[in-house]
Amino acid sequence: MAYRDNTKVVHIGDRVIGGGNPILIQSMTNTRTEDVEGTVAQIKRLEEAGCDIIRCTVPNIEAAKALGEIKKQIHIPLVADIHFDYKMAIAAMENGADKIRINPGNIGSKDRIAAVVSCAKERNIPIRVGVNSGSLEKNLVEKYHGVTAEGLVESAIDKVGIIEDLGYDNMVVSIKSSNVMLCVKAHELLAKQCKYPLHVGITEAGTVYGGNIKSSVGLGIILNEGIGDTIRVSLSGDPVEEIKTAKMILRTLDIRKGGIEVVSCPTCGRTRIDLIGLANQVETMVQKYPLDIKVAVMGCAVNGPGEAKEADIGIAGGDGEGLLIKHGEIIKKVPEDQLLAVLKEELDAWPSND
């Protein structure tokens, strides 16, 4: 059973999640939100890479006011990330946030939470209730003798209840941990008890290398169990890398179609080109194409055509020249330094899958 088919439908700007709608990819800017120009530039790069929803931190009133200017220049829903100061949550909504992310446990008194909920209700803005293993309440740590999946779920259900008691149910829920298997277990428990869409991620996952592995394992298990409505791959690096990995996870699980898949050989002693550099260039270049095809990048002209036969199109390096290949057939030889440009020309002219 896919739990995501039965979660509540929630609208975030012009996007819809829950109720079996497609899983959306989210990321977070690492610019200063007050820097409108820099933040917009980063969001546009993320949009081009395939980001569906973007989150920005709102630590002060200048950041809250900047949201309005940022929204005018981007094309995806904007989520305000709030910690501690309930006034920032209200200011963010007043300045156009499409959703807010709060942990009611650190917002403060019930009156302050009520003020935030009242503002959200007035504008029909969804609230993402976030619980993190690093900030689990002391009484739950003591009750479960440490940070546990059961404690995270109890905390989340409690916070959801606070907002429900205030007469509001336009919510998304997230429970995150840097412990992959603890996070998996928590989602398995929560999915059975929660009717709201779940935002899934492995928090503080690490560098592009370590974070990608931890996120792929954790998200792979959780998503394959039918859990999750939005996802984020959290990396200490360029957030565009988060989008690339998230798309690959969804494609690998056959959850999302579309987007170019790049395959490349592991290199060997026959390789006479910078295959690793070329493959990375190709992987970055293809992010913007809404094509459901496979592109191969091969290191030599000896086995390249055969190894690339399952790909729709491919390039193979030689010694000073390379090959353009389609479905395992050599189409033409080109100078090595033109391989990337020739591939781009072919993709620009490739018929749409629509």
CA geometry: angle at 47 spanning 297 and 311, to 5°? 20
Contact assessment for residue 104 and residue 162, using Cβ atoms and an 8 Å cutoff: yes
The DSSP line for 26-91 is EEE--S-TT-HHHHHHHHHHHHHHT--EEEEE--SHHHHHHHHHHHHH-SS-EEEE--S-HHHHHH
Q: Which among 29, 15, 119 is positioned nearest to 81, based on CA atoms?
A: 29
Instruction: Quickly count: other Cβ atoms within 10 Å of residue 160's Cβ.
Output: 22
Residues 180 and 186: their CA atoms lie apart, in Å, by 10
Phi (first) and psi of residue 338, to 5 degrees: -110, 0
Annotated binding site for [4Fe-4S] cluster: 265, 268, 300, 307
Contact assessment for residue 296 and residue 309, using Cβ atoms and an 8 Å cutoff: no
Sign of CA dihedral 89, 92, 96, 98: negative
CA dihedral angle for residue 272, residue 276, residue 280, residue 281, rounded to 10 degrees: -20
Non-local (6+) Cβ contacts of 163 within 8 A are 104, 113, 117, 127, 129, 169, 171
Annotated binding site: 265, 268, 300, 307
Amino acid at 219: L
Amino acid at 120: A
